[in-house]
Every structure is written in structure tokens, then in C-alpha cells.
Chain A
Amino acid sequence: MPIFSCGVRMDAKSRADCDLKIDSHFIRSVSDGISVEEMLLTRLDSCVESFIRLSDRDGFEATFVKAVQKALGLSLADVEARAYRAEGAVAVKRFLNRAMGLNEAGEVEGHIHEFRTDFLQARETGLIGPYFNRLYQRGLWLAEKARIEFNLQKKAVSPELVVSDLAQKIFGDLKGHSVFVAGNSAECEPFLQRLVARNIGEVFFLNGAGRKSVRGMCDQFHGKMVSRDGLGQMLRSVDLVLLFDQEMLDLIVEHDLSRVMSTRNNAPLLWVTLLEGGETATKQPDFSKFYNVYAYNRNDLHGIVEANLREYQKVIRIINRLVVKEIDDFFDWVNSSDEYRFGNIIGKSDAVQKILELIARISQTDISVLIDGESGTGKELVALAIHAHSGRSEKPFVTVNCGALPEGLLESELFGHVKGSFTGATSNKKGLIEEADQGTIFLDEIGETSQATQVKLLRFLQEGEIKPVGSNETRKLDVRVLAATNRDLEKMVEEGTFRQDLFYRLNVIQITVPPLRDRREDILPLTQFFVKKYSDVTHKTVYGLDEGADKKLKRYHWPGNVRELENAIERAVALSSGQVLTVEDLPPAILGAAPASNNRHPGGDLSLKDLERRHIAATLEEHDWNYDLVTRILGIGRTTLWRKMKEYNISN
């Protein structure tokens, strides 16, 4: 299974008119015989890495192969032999490493944010297929795990990060503090970007002769230009000095430094010199007289970075083991041909991908999640996936359907009760929340709970304590709460039937599962999954459906969502006699249904009569030509219906 991928610069957004420029780094690697899969993961400066979807790569591929051929002077066969190397393990590893902020060698580098932006940008071009989506989700999950369990990304791993960390440790909030930078833009930019990201106040540059790059930087960072005469004045008030320039250092040391320092009123100063060619040969200013100065040079910064990296080494070994397992899982999944299956969730639509990404990002924290969506869309599967990806996956997952139990019973089910607290309470009983201790509780149909239970739930969410019915003792529990509803809780809050504070507590993260009719791409993979499932159950050999049935399924509007689809397929498989499902095997509701779209609310200009005709036809079709039902729905008599049917020439 080749994962076709490459490291090429994509200037244009859309695939059709993209202009391929093969990076020199890429060429070097290809000619060295490294697989193309590995290439995609090397960071090429300022270019979007592109990830090519297996299914619609044709046009792109041709251009790509030609470009490689031309650049390397290889024969077509050579290119293909290299481009389609099957094993992508190294590539996958790099991808996952980068997703966690590690570089190719597996060292902490910390570009998680850049990686995510790059990926999302690449996805916008429409070139991301299921494989990379999957990898991206796994990468998000791993990154979160590394962050939460191993504190990865906390320590500075580059000189830029060390400088901004130092500045923050000295000044606290960097807002209202200023920095002076002298050097060329390539050197200064990474440092300034980090500082700007932490809200540094003013940025000063020296107005030197003929330095175009400085002027550009000044514009880029909304900085201020200072003339040579103003240098002393500026140094008097600046908080952070970054020098890349020997000449500048000499200038400051010889003319101003001692005088300036004595007028600074001992205000703290972070003084960083990052000179070309090491520090030893150059003259360093003497700060020993000034007690609030923190002076660092290039070697100091590198020393700190190295020390931090050494501390990370052990953690990285553990993470590497995780990554190896992840790679195995990935290839198992790739080879299983369930390319749209992610655990228990199936779907190729963007909506499902986004949900999966969200799950990957939030599952390892303990924040509560509210899952909403129509009934039958698979809210419980989302909850299960969150549980399975969390650190609690070995611990219990308890589902409570709040709508299924009468009021008093729900309370004692959730919180438990003690013996004698009400008639029939013959013994102490643990509540379901307590059963879920250390694990996850999933409160389905949360909108159906009464005010009294809502108060108790709120208390539990805020304090992490429960009090069984009839008991005076509170119990401290560690339970993660997931809730689901198919009702509009916001509206219920407005109406006053759902407590606002509980809503805010539950709704820290909201995952909306869209109805099946809004993600028709998922119907096919779901159908395939269910066909396989039920043909196994019924010991039949059904492989899929024919075109007619497929069309019917896609046109139906699925009011019962995935659950209805599952039932329809179960029925169809049970009834089928051949190896593919045909239209006859499908339930009448689906067959009779009018096409879901452009029927009820047609676009374009229509006369009232046209509209009436369409509406009557659609209603009849939808309800299987049941005249009784249709007359009631339309609010007209049976004779009127017949008359209109004749008039509009509608017949079964």
C-alpha cells in the first residue's frame, strides 16, 4: 500500500493550477535513494508540505513524476521504483514525531503549532486523504499524551525559547516591556517572533546605513527606528537587548554602556549577545558592577538548551516505544482496508474527521464534554471513543440513560442510596457515578433530568462529591463526565427548564454530531460496514449493493440517522437472496421516499400550482400512497385530493 507523498513546494492553493517546484533538499534525498515517503516529513522552509490523496492523485502525479524526472535526469521507471516504495514506517515515524514537536532525529524541537498550521493549510488544498487524516489525529493524540504525561514541550529547546522564557521569568508579563534588536533579519526574526507571541511591548531597531532588512523587520514587527544619537536614550529605558552584531556591541560598550547603566536606576536588564563566530574572541561588556543585569551569550543559551534536551532523553525513549506501537497500528489499519474506520467510528466526511481530531485533542484531559446531535447519530460512540483514548480507558465506562428512568429512581441510581432511605431501600446501594470512579460516566439524554437532579449533578461536577440518597456523608470521586442530548439545551436554558450553571459546566467542549443527511459521503462506508457485519451474523455472503439500491440509500433523507441505516441494512441482508443487495431488499420507507433534496423547496421560479403539484406528489410518495394519512397531513378532504391528483396528472 503505497502512501504517495512528497516534499514539494505548492504555490497555488488549488490542485489544478499548482506549480510544482522541487526543493533541492528533496532532490538530494531522492537521489540518495531515500524513499519519497520520508521526504514529506522534512520541513522545507516556508513551503506547505503536500500530502496526496490516493484516490485522486492522477493529474498531480503526472506533473510530479515529470518534475522529478527532469530534475534528476532519471528514467520514468526509476522514478516510479523510488516513489512507490511500500514501506512508509520511517515516514510515519517522522510524521508522528513532528506532530509531537520532535525533529527527525527524535529530539525535542517544539514546532507543534507550525506543524498543525502547515497540515491544515495542506488540507485546504484538498489533497489530504484518509491516511494523513488518520496520522494527523494519532499525532494530535500522541502530542497531548506527551504533554500531559511527560511534560514534553515545557522546557525551552531552542535559544529563541530560552530567551523568551528568561524574559518572562524576569519581567513577568512582557506587555509594557521593550526590546532592542541589532542584527540581520534572518538572525533576529525567530527571536522576535517568540517575543511577539508573548506580547512584548515595543521593539526598537537601530537606523543604520543601508540596512534594508532592518527596515523590513521594523515594519513587520511594528517596531521603532532609533538613530545613533538616540541610542543612549533608548538604552536607558529598554528591558531586553539582543545583539547579533559585533560592531554594534563595540559601539555601545565604548560610548555609552557605563554611563547608560548608571542612569538606569538598576532596572532589570536581560542582555543577550549572539555574535557570529563564538564569543571568546570578542570583547564582552563588564556587568559585574550592575546587580540586576542578566547577561547571556550564545554559549550560555546553547548550554541551557542542551541541559533541557538531556533531561528529555529518558522521556523520549518512552515516547519512542509509543510511536513504534502507533506505527504498527497504523499499518494494520492501512492493510485492513477499513480505510474509513477509526475504532468504532466510521466515516469519511469532513465533519467526522473534525470530530475525530477533537476527540484526539481532548480525550486525555478531564474536562467535561457535551455531545449533541439527533437521535441515532452515534453520540454514545463518540463518548466511548473519548473514554478509550483517555488515561481512564482501563477503568469503567458507565452509561446512564437519564430519559429512561423516572425521577426519584434516576437520583438513587446515579448517586446511590442507603438502607431505609425510602420504601424498598432494603440495603445500601452504590450509585452509578460511584461505580464509574476513576473512569468515565456517560449521561445520555441529559436534557430529560429534573431540576432537583440537575442541582445534585452540578454539585458533583463542581466539587467532585456525591451524597447518596438518605446519607449524610459525602463521597469524593474522580469521575470524568460526558453528557449527550438531542435537545437544544441552550433553548431549554432560556426557557428555564435546564439550569444555566449546569449547562456551562457540561458545555466546556461541545461536539456536535451532524445528522446522516448532512454527511452523505458517510453513507457508503457505513453501508459497507453494516453489510459485512450482518452478512456475518446471518451467515450469508453479501458483498455490497447494486447501483439502484445505492442510489436509493443516498437519496433518502434518513430521519433516523445511522441507526435507521443499520436497521435497513440488517433487514435487507436478511431478505436478500443474492450476493448484492437490490432495490427490492430495501425497506419500503426508503423506496417510497421522494428524493430528499430539491423537491420540497425547489429553487427557481415556480407558480403556486407547480408548488402544489410537487408538494402533493412528494407527500404521497413519502407516505406510500396512503390516502388517509396524506389527506390528514395536507388538511384536505379525500375528494379534493383525488380532484387535484387528476388535475395535476399524479398517479401511482
Chain B
Amino acid sequence: MKELTYLLSWLVLLLYAVSFWNYLRYFKEKSEALALQIRRWLLVAVSTHTIYLAMLTFLTGHLPVGNTFMVLASSAWFFVVVYLVLEVRLHEMTMGVFFLPVILLLQFISNSFIDVDKPLNPILSGMMFEVHVALMISAYAAFTISFITSVMYILLSREMQSKRLGIFFERLPSLQFFDNLSNHAVNIGLVIVTIGIGMGFYMAADVWEGKWALDPKLLAVVVSWGIYLVHFLTRKSIGWQGKRAAIVSVVGFNWLLFSFIIVTTFFSKIHNFQ
């Protein structure tokens, strides 16, 4: 059972790699015949991923949010679901080629840390905690969407300012499209992450009795919250938009990755999953 789960975790990664390859081909050729096939592969990947998460839940007896590798695996799964909904709703398949590398990275890190035998910290298995993690994952999903659309915005914008129109100009939708999508994602993400952090503070105050103030992970999260707040405020007040907003979003997401992965690994103190 355990071996099967480990095997499945790599199969999921492989399937996402296949999907990424498909999206890359689609990006180059843009044939509608390929479009159907692509979505089918991604659906296979996300279904396998669902089975994998279900098996983790079964093995550990908790929702798969209890430690780093599980949270990463769950996040990746949720991001793909959100992405799929967006793709279907917006009829825009070119985003996949930018989106899937993020998933591949998350899934790869998750697989590298995989260990289902490690006991879970009992305080991290309550209902309240699970809601907190779910909220954070949702917010990160929104920030991920904002990140990839911002990257695409910058690529397209740079190509247009260089005055040599190439594949991005040919394939991607308009700057306006990316700008709107990114802004919406940040707005939604900001609301959710505010609630999530609030909940986190509440629980931390309860559990850690004041030791939490210097926790690097917590600080990191607050900083990323600040970055996205800057994104929101500068947009509303001094009219940062387009390229500049996109840069803020990219910075924010990089900081997120940094805080989520590096801080958890190297600075782990109390706010970790052990």
C-alpha cells in the first residue's frame, strides 16, 4: 500500500510532465485537434492525483494537509483544478505551458520529501487547522494564477516593445486579458489570505502562547501579504497597472515560493508540521 502510494506520486509527476509536453506542442502548433487530447491528458493526470491524495488520507487518517509534502501535493492538486476551471471558462489554453512548470516544481518537491510514517503533531489535526490550511492553499492558488498571467503579460509586453513580433504575439490573448485576470486573482487571493492569516494568529496565540511572534514562516507570510497589499493599493491609488502591477505580482509569488519552501526547510522552528 505504501509502496503503491509512492509509486503513484511519481506517476502523477510523470503525467503532469506529459501534460506539459502537450501544452508546449499546442503552444507551437495551436491545432484544435490537439486541444481535446491535451485536456484529456490533464484530466487523467488530475484524476490520478485525486486517487493519490485519497490514498494518503486513507494511510494517515487525516486530510492530506498535515505536513510539508502533503500540503504541497494538495496545493498542486487544487491549483490544477482551479486552472482547469479557468481554462474551460475562458477558452484559453495557452496558459497551460506557463502554469504546468509551477505544478511540476511543487509536485517534485513534495515527492522528494514524501514520508507517510512520520507522526503528525496532534495540535495540527483539528478542524480549525484544516480550514486554515485550505484557506491558505486557495489564496496561493489565486496568487499562482496572478503570477502566470503576469509572466505572460510581461513576455507579451516586452515582445511588443521590442517591435519584433514573434510567437507570443501570435499565440497569446491580449494584454488586457492578462491584466484583468491577474488583478482579479490578486483581489480574491488577498481577501482569502487575510482571513487565513487572521485565523492563523488566533490559533497561534492559543497554542504557542506568545512564542509565535518571531517565527520566520509567519513573518514571511506577513511579508507576502504586504506585497500583495501593495499590489492592490498602488493599483487603486496611484494607478500602477499593466507591466508594473505584473512585476509586483511576480515578486510576490517568488517571495511566496521562498517562504513556503526555503523557510520551512531551513528555518523550521515551531511553525512547522512536525
Which A residues fall within an 8 A CB radius of B? Answer: 154-155, 165-166, 168-173, 265-268, 291-292, 294, 296, 300, 303-304, 307
Contacts and interface: CB of A to CB of B under 8 A. Distances in A.
B156 interface: yes
A165 B175 CA distance: 12
Nearest to A268: B242
Given A170-B174, A267-B241, A300 B156 contact: no
B176 A170 contact: yes
Given A266-B244, A267-B241, A169 B160 contact: yes
Nearest to A476: B36
Centre residue among A171, A266, A294 by max chain B CB count within 10 A: A266
Interface stretch (B79-87, B110-118, B165-173, B208-216): B165-173
Given A168-B174, A172-B173, A172-B177, A265 B160 contact: no
15 contacts: A154-B170, A169-B160, A169-B169, A169-B174, A171-B174, A172-B173, A265-B241, A266-B240, A266-B241, A266-B242, A268-B242, A291-B243, A292-B242, A294-B161, A307-B164
B250 to A, nearest CB: 14
A292 B241 CA distance: 8
Contacts of B173: 172
B150 to A, nearest CB: 14
Contacts of A291: 242-244
A300 B163 contact: yes
A478 B200 CA distance: 54
A461 B266 CA distance: 57
A37 B28 CA distance: 43
Given A155-B170, A307-B164, A268 B244 contact: no
B239 interface: yes
B128 to A, nearest CB: 42
B153 to A, nearest CB: 11
Contacts of B176: 170-173, 268
A154 B173 CA distance: 15
B183 to A, nearest CB: 14
B160 A166 contact: yes
Interface in B241-259: 241-244
Nearest to B173: A172
A445 B244 CA distance: 62
Contacts of B164: 303-304, 307
Contact of B243 (A265, A292, A296): A292
A152 B243 CA distance: 32
Centre residue among A154, A166, A172, A300 by max chain B CB count within 10 A: A172
Contacts, number: 54
A484 B169 CA distance: 43
A170 B161 CA distance: 11
Contacts of A296: 163
Interface of B: 156, 160-161, 163-165, 169-170, 172-177, 239-244
B175 A268 contact: yes
A170 B175 contact: yes
Contacts of A170: 160, 174-176
A155 B243 CA distance: 25
A43 B240 CA distance: 49
Contacts of A292: 241-243
Nearest to A166: B160
Centre residue among A169, A171, A268, A304 by max chain B CB count within 10 A: A169
Contacts of B175: 169-172, 268
B92 to A, nearest CB: 12
Nearest to B239: A265
Contacts of B177: 172
A300 to B, nearest CB: 5
Contacts of A304: 163-165
Contact of A266 (B169, B170, B174, B239): B239
Contacts of A155: 170
A261 B244 CA distance: 16
A307 B163 contact: no
Nearest to A170: B175
A531 B176 CA distance: 66
Contacts of A169: 156, 160, 169, 172, 174-175
Given A172-B176, A291-B242, 17 more contacts: A154-B170, A155-B170, A169-B169, A169-B172, A170-B160, A171-B174, A171-B175, A172-B174, A172-B175, A173-B176, A265-B241, A267-B241, A268-B175, A294-B161, A296-B163, A300-B163, A303-B164
Contacts of B165: 304, 307
Nearest to A171: B176
A296 B159 CA distance: 13
Contacts of A266: 239-242, 244
A165 B163 CA distance: 13
Nearest to B36: A464
Nearest to A155: B170
A267 B240 CA distance: 9
Nearest to B32: A366
A240 to B, nearest CB: 13
A307 B241 CA distance: 31
Contacts of B239: 265-267
A94 B165 CA distance: 30
Contacts of A268: 175-176, 241-242
B136 to A, nearest CB: 32
Nearest to B240: A266
A268 B165 CA distance: 18
Nearest to B170: A155
A71 B169 CA distance: 51
Contacts of A172: 173-177
Contacts of A300: 163
A172 B92 CA distance: 13
B166 to A, nearest CB: 9
Contacts of A267: 239, 241
Centre residue among A172, A291, A292, A307 by max chain B CB count within 10 A: A292
A310 to B, nearest CB: 12
B43 to A, nearest CB: 15
B35 to A, nearest CB: 13
Nearest to A151: B30
A167 to B, nearest CB: 9
Nearest to A168: B174
A177 to B, nearest CB: 9
Contacts of B163: 296, 300, 303-304
A154 B165 CA distance: 13
A360 to B, nearest CB: 22
Query: Which 10 pairs of residues, A with B, have the shortest CB-CB distance?
Result: A265-B239, A172-B174, A172-B176, A292-B242, A300-B163, A170-B175, A291-B243, A266-B239, A171-B176, A169-B174
Contacts of A154: 170
A267 B160 CA distance: 16
A303 B172 CA distance: 21
A266 to B, nearest CB: 5
Contacts of A294: 160-161
Contacts of B156: 169
A464 to B, nearest CB: 9
Contacts of A307: 164-165
A38 to B, nearest CB: 35
B168 to A, nearest CB: 9
Contacts of A265: 239, 241
A150 B261 CA distance: 47
A413 to B, nearest CB: 28
Contacts of A171: 174-176
A169 B241 CA distance: 16
A155 B169 CA distance: 10
A155 B177 CA distance: 21
A153 to B, nearest CB: 13
Centre residue among B165, B172, B177, B239 by max chain A CB count within 10 A: B165
Contacts of B170: 154-155
A292 B175 CA distance: 11
B239 to A, nearest CB: 3
A617 B173 CA distance: 72
B23 to A, nearest CB: 20
